[in-house]
Amino acid sequence: MTVIAEDHGAVRVLTLNRPDKLNALDTALTRSLSEAFTAADADREIRALVLTGAGRGFCAGADLGEFSSLTPDHADAVLERAALTAKLQVQARQLRIPVVAAVRGAAVGGGAGLAIGADMVVAGTDLKFGYPELKHSIVPALVMTGLVHHLGRKLAFELVSTGRLLTAAEAFEHGLVNRVVSPDEVLPAALEIAEHWAKAEPRAIAAAKDLFYRVADLPTDAAMRAGQDVNALMRGFRG
């Protein structure tokens, strides 16, 4: 099973389960995680998600071993994988329920994108975060949007062009993670956040999350109008 789902009351923990490959994303794992996100979002008993990785690392990015078959001679497979990856990189923010990533060890390439694509991130002190694709003659095309949105352009370009990995302290300093804890406290700390979310009125937190990302991408006047709409709607959430 490439993704393990375990419920803790109203919180679902999704665990990437390829520890022998540092949870590298092949097509099967990418598809399974996307389907697990969709299933959790559709389950009205689930109010928050924790995303983590089995073993000593969160996610080592794309599984390079699969690249030998992703060639122009297999155009359908190439297009399917690109579409799956693009969907997965933004899927967490599109869910009605909030997602916290519990990240220890390596979070690189697509794994880095998955981590910062969550609504919050708890990182272990052993974090290694970055985008080393160019070292393998690969362009980090499908993870670049998320990186540029989260970081200033100078640092983002440095990470992409040099492959330098950030430490947990650097990631916290630049706002990529919310909390840094010891590696063995990463999952408990993430569960604590998710359990706090799960106590909120589910319609209210879903509306707050949706509005948060909408206003981030809107001009001020349009963002305020969107806020007014939600302000009127939320009156029906109580009682």
> Which domain CATH number covers 93?
3.90.226.10
- Spatial neighbors of 16 by CB under 8 A, at least 6 apart, are 2, 3, 23, 29, 33, 51, 52, 53, 54, 58, 59
Q: Is the pLDDT of residue 38 over 90?
A: yes
Same domain for 152 and 220: no
Same domain for 86 and 141: yes
User: Residues 169-175: what's their mean pLDDT?
Assistant: 96
pLDDT attached to residue 18: 97
pLDDT attached to residue 166: 95
pLDDT attached to residue 59: 97
Q: Is 185 a catalytic residue?
A: no
Model confidence pLDDT, tens digit, residues 126-169:
999 998 877 877 777 667 788 888 888 899 899 888 999 999 99
Q: Is the pLDDT of residue 37 over 90?
A: yes
User: Residues 22-35: what's their mean pLDDT?
Assistant: 95
Same domain for 224 and 124: no
Report the percent of the chain where pLDDT is more than 90.
Answer: 61
Same domain for 189 and 90: yes
pLDDT attached to residue 114: 95
Give residue 234's Cα distance to chain centre.
Answer: 27
- Overall domain count for the chain: 2
pLDDT attached to residue 118: 97
Same domain for 114 and 8: yes
Q: What phi, psi does 198 have (nearest 5°)?
A: -65, -20
> Structure pTM?
0.89
Q: What phi, psi does 31 have (nearest 5°)?
A: -65, -45
pLDDT attached to residue 117: 94
CA 83 – CA 87 distance, rounded (Å): 6
Model confidence pLDDT, tens digit, residues 217-236:
766 666 577 666 666 666 65
CA 90 – CA 86 distance, rounded (Å): 7
Show the tokens assigned to 4. Answer: 């393990």
14 touches 3 (CB < 8 A) = yes
Same domain for 121 and 140: yes
User: Residues 189-215: what's their mean pLDDT?
Assistant: 93
User: Residues 94-110: what's their mean pLDDT?
Assistant: 97
Lowest-confidence range among 35-39, 89-93, 104-108?
89-93
User: Residue 135 sits in which domain range?
Assistant: 3-198
Same domain for 208 and 97: no
Mean pLDDT of the chain: 88
Given 80, 133, 158, 195, the catalytic residue: 133
Same domain for 163 and 139: yes
Same domain for 127 and 221: no
